[in-house]
Amino acid sequence: MSEPIKFHFDVDGDNFSSAGEASVQVKRMLRQIGIPADVIRRVSVAMYEGEINMVIHADGGNADVVVEPGKIVIILADRGPGIADIELAMTEGYSTAPENVRSLGFGAGMGLPNMKRYTDDMKIESVVGQGTTVTMTVLF
Amino acid sequence: MTVNQLIEKLSLEVLNLEEGDREITGGYVGDLLSWVMGKAESGDMWVTIMTNVNVVAVASLVDTACVVIADNAEIAPEVIEKARTQGINLLRSSKSAYQLCNEQILL
C-alpha cells in the first residue's frame, strides 16, 4: 500500500437514525484491507462520535478518511455554530445536546473526550458562527 | 461461554442471531451510548434498556458479542431488521439488567 486510500462521506444532518452509516462503512472497508481489529475499533468509534456530534449540533457535514501505511486520518468538517470554548466542550460530562437527543442515549458529554482518548492526535479548529473541523489521527 | 449457551441458560428471547457460537468474554451494562463506546470491550455481553437504532451501530463498532435488552424493553421492527443487516446478535429478556448479570456470572 503506497498510495493513500481515501474515503469521503456526506453526513446527513436530518436523519438521526442513519447517523453512523459512514463509520460502519469505514469499519467494513478497513477490515477488508486488513487493518488490525483494535485500530478499526478506535477509528470507527472516534468517527462515530464525531458523526453524531455533527448531526446533533451542526446539521451534518463532511467526513473524510485517509488511510496511509501506519496511519489513519479522519477529518470531520461542518458549517455548524462552532464551539466557543473548546476546553469546556472537552470536559467529561459537559454537554449542550438537547433533551430529544439525550433520550436516545446521547448527550452524556463523553463524545469529544472519547474521540481524544481513542486517537493519537486530535485537533479542533472552530470559528463561532462558521463551523468546526476536527482532525484525528490514529497511528498503528 | 458462547452466545448460544447464554440464550439457553438465561432463556433469552432471540430477536436476531447471526453468530451463535461467538464467545462471550466479558460484560457491560449501560444506556448512555458514549459510555458504552468508551468502556465496553470487544466480546462483551452488552445489557441495556436502550432500543433505538443507534444501539445496533454502537454494538457493531464496539464489536460486542451480543446485545441483551433487559426488562422486555419495547423494540421497533426496523431496529431488529437493522441488526439483521449488520449481523448483530440481538436478544431480549423480561429480567432486569441486575438479574441478567447476576445469573450470567453464576453460570
Which CATH number is B21's domain given?
Answer: 3.40.1390.20
**Is B14 domain-assigned?**
yes
Cα distance between residue A20 and residue A24, in whole Å = 6
Q: Do B48 and B69 touch, CB atoms closer than 8 A?
A: yes
Does residue B97 lie within any of the structural domains?
Answer: yes
Domain count for chain B: 1
Mean pLDDT, rounded, for A109-114: 96
The lowest-confidence range among A18-22, A114-118, B85-89 is A18-22
The CATH superfamily assigned to A5-139 is Histidine kinase-like ATPase, C-terminal domain (3.30.565.10)
SS3 B8: helix
Q: Do the Cβ atoms of A72 and A134 come closer than 8 Å?
A: no
In three-state secondary structure terms, A126 is strand
Nearest to A114 among B37, B52, B60 (CB): B37
Residue B35 with chain A: CB contacts under 8 Å? 108, 110
Question: How many angstroms separate the CA atoms of A23 and A41, rounded?
Answer: 10
Predicted-complex ipTM score: 0.87
pLDDT at B84: 97
Residue A1 has pLDDT above 80, yes or no: no
Which residues in chain B touch residue A17, judged by CB atoms under 8 angstroms apart? 52-54
In a domain, B22, yes or no: yes
Our CA-based measurement puts residue B11 at a distance from the nearest CA of chain A, in whole angstroms, of: 27
CA–CA distance, A65 with A58 (Å, rounded to integer):
19
- Give residue A29's Cα distance to chain centre: 17
pTM of structure: 0.92
Of B39, B41, B96, B33, nearest in space to B65 by CA: B41
CA–CA distances in Å: residue B27 to residues A108, B66, B105: 21, 10, 10
Q: What is the DSSP letter of A92?
A: T
- Considering the domain boundaries, does residue B107 fall inside one? no
On whether the CB atoms of residues B91 and B14 are closer than 8 A, the answer is yes
- Residue pair A130/A64 in contact by the 8 Å Cβ criterion: no
Mean pLDDT of chain B: 96
Contact A49 B37 (CB under 8 A): yes
Q: How confident is the prediction for chain A on average, in pLDDT?
A: 94
A47-99: per-residue pLDDT in tens?
999 999 999 999 999 999 999 999 999 999 999 999 999 999 999 999 999 99
**B31: contact with A, CB 8 A cutoff:** yes
Dihedral (C-alpha) A10, A13, A16, A21: value to the nearest 10 degrees?
Answer: 10
Residue range B83-96, pLDDT digits in tens: 999 999 999 999 99
The percent of chain B in helix, strand and coil, each rounded to the nearest 5, is 40, 20, 40
- Parallel, antiparallel, or unpaired: how do β-strands A121-127 and B44-48 relate? unpaired
Question: Which comes out higher in pLDDT, residue B106 or B67?
Answer: B67
Grid coordinates 449540533 are at which residue? Answer: A57
Range of the domain at B35: 3-102
In the numeric block, the cell 439457553 is attached to B8
Contact between B34 and A49 using a beta-carbon 8 Å cutoff: yes
| Domain locations along chain A | 5-139
